């Protein structure tokens, strides 16, 4: 990549639009992201999660939102310097406001599933609650 293109790539710019409902929801979190690319990844992850794809893995989400490589999504989750705690708190406050004092039950399933072969991304030997031992599988929440 030439120097001019690198400079242009890093100039301040508006985030690329996605789908109206995603852009509207994510706009409430925009100030938590210093870089526009991190904010775009945040929006792309939301778009991928509500999409109709069967596998909600980073490579599949990257394909459905037209990103050339899932690496940018992985970097966003693993290495970016956005304030996870502040994002969680804002999301929790938003949820509490919507519930308006009504009780709910939240079920989190992270038992894991056995997997064979190499078709599914992120399969590894790990403890799987569904089988009660370490096995080849994937845990998703």
Is the model's pTM score more than 0.75?
no
Q: What is the pLDDT of residues 77-107, one digit of tens each?
A: 988 888 999 999 999 999 999 999 999 998 8
Contacts 24+ apart (CB under 8 A), 91-94: 91/29, 94/28
Would you give the DSSP letter of residue 118? S
């Amino acid at each position: 990549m030439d120097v001019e293109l690198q400079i242009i790539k890093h100039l301040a710019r508006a985030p690329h639009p996605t789908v109206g409902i995603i852009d509207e929801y994510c706009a409430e979190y925009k100030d938590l992201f210093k870089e526009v690319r991190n904010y775009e990844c945040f929006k792309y992850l939301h778009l991928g999660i509500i999409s109709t794809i069967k596998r909600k893995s980073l490579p599949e989400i990257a394909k459905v939102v037209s990103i050339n490589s899932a690496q940018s999504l992985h970097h966003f989750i693993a290495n970016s310097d956005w304030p996870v705690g502040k994002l969680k708190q804002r999301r929790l406050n938003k949820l509490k406001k919507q519930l308006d004092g009504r009780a709910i039950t939240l079920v989190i399933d992270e038992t894991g599933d056995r997997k064979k072969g190499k078709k599914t991304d992120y399969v590894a030997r790990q403890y799987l609650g569904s089988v009660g031992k370490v096995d080849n599988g994937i845990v998703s929440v």
